[in-house]
Amino acid sequence: MLRLERRPSPSRFWIASTPLLAVVLTMLAGGAMFALLGTDPLAAIRTIFWDPVFGEFAFYYRGQLLVKAAPLILIAIGLSLGFRAGIWNIGAEGQYIIGAIFGAGVGLAAYPTESRLIFPAMVIAGAFGGWLWAMIPAILKTRFNTNEILVSLMLVYVAEAILASMASGLLRNPDGMGFPGSRNFKDYPAAHNNFLIESAGVHWGVIAALIAVIFAYVLLNRHLLGFHIRLAGEAPKAARFGGVNPTRLVVFSLGASGALAGMAGLFEVAGPAGQISIDFNSGYGFTAIIVAFLGRLNPIGILLAGLLMALTYVGGDAAAAQLGLPSAAIQLLQGMLLFFLLAVDVLANFRIRLGKTEAA
């Protein structure tokens, strides 16, 4: 019989290896799923994971990798701060939406003014919108001890309703002949998140994501607040005896993750998406949870995991166009990644043993 035996201490080898093992298992299971859908599994896996980086048209796809990775990394960095402290913000998608609405609102209010101050003001407004939306579960948790998982998740649906209302009402393009959706920021240079290096897909969102990675790394490894975050997650009782303020930690963690998610929403709506629309949100807030755990809640790991997840987006679009794979299959592939990561993660704390279980 197979049985699990707890290790005296977590295995560093398996902690480092399980993300790679999860990726391999995802490819195998994904290949089986593609075969059931009537698609050549090897061709599908090659199109998703190989062609965007090394294929014939890799020069085009590489520019899209950073565009897709930037919001995932930005949101995942914020989530990781809370997750490390045991504070579970599952509603980053809602904060992403509200940040986009706040930032877009500032830009549209200034239309058609041309000023270099408009885009920075939009970034600040986007961060403030995400922070404000995250403060709702933060205040409810610190004042009434509510569950931040449920509150932040339910607020996503409220944010989606606000998005639909804004796209059809207050932010609707007055020259759009009644169709829902705001003005296109690509036609408004002062508010457009334009490419800094177009061939590489570098815009201000990519720069912000890299700054967030550096800031989070320094915070977690060189600052007292980062030590408090790690201590609260690894030893909650020791954190309480050590004088860590739980209220401050909750407000900071949720506020930081909300602000970064709001900035990601602003960079997306002012850049690749181009406008506020009913279907603006694309699930980045939920996918970033996978990125955070795949990167082991480590800023450098999140950077690499964000690029890998972006690869599934870019490669998935290519597979849908070339092989006719449904988009739902790509979403299922991304979900498999988190499932296998959680499944094989048990090896970090347990050994698999063969033999009979001893009677109690």
pLDDT at 109: 94
The answer to the question of residue 30 being in a domain is no
Give the position of tokens 């181009």: 274
pTM of the model: 0.92
Beta bridge partners of 2: 354
The answer to the question of residue 351 being in a domain is no
pLDDT at 360: 47
Give the position of tokens 């190989």: 50
Return the minimum-mean-pLDDT range out of 136-150, 247-261, 319-333: 319-333
The answer to the question of residue 52 being in a domain is yes
The answer to the question of residue 27 being in a domain is no
How remote is the C-alpha of 161 from its chain's centroid? Answer: 21
The answer to the question of residue 262 being in a domain is yes
- pLDDT, tens digit, for every residue of 89-101? 999 999 999 999 9
3-class SS at 116?
Answer: coil
Q: Convert 169-200 to b/e letters by CB count within 10 Å (16 or more is b).
A: eebbbeeeeeebbbbebbebebbbbebeeeee
Q: How confident is the model at residue 5 (pLDDT cuts 50, 70, 90)?
A: confident
Q: What is the tally of structural domains in the chain? A: 1
The answer to the question of residue 16 being in a domain is no
Q: Convert 217-230 to b/e letters by CB count within 10 Å (16 or more is b).
A: bebbeeeeebbbbb
pLDDT at 68: 94
The answer to the question of residue 194 being in a domain is yes
- pLDDT, tens digit, for every residue of 161-181? 999 999 999 999 998 888 899
What CATH number has the domain bearing residue 240? 1.10.3470
Token code pair at residue 106: 């500032």
Return the minimum-mean-pLDDT range out of 10-14, 109-113, 121-125, 169-173: 10-14
Q: Is 8 exposed, middle or buried (0-12, 13-18, 19+ CB in 10 A)?
A: exposed
The answer to the question of residue 172 being in a domain is yes
Of the chain, the percentage scoring pLDDT greater than 70 comes to 98
How remote is the C-alpha of 106 from its chain's centroid? Answer: 24
Q: Which domain holds residue 296?
A: 38-325
- pLDDT, tens digit, for every residue of 272-313? 999 999 988 888 999 999 999 999 999 999 999 999 999 999
- For the chain, the farthest-separated pair of C-alpha atoms sits apart, in whole angstroms, at 78
**Residues in contact with 25: Cβ distance below 8 Å, sequence separation at least 6, in sequence order:** 336, 340, 344
> Is residue 266's pLDDT more than 50?
yes
pLDDT at 356: 63
> Is residue 40's pLDDT more than 80?
yes
Beta bridge partners of 3: 353
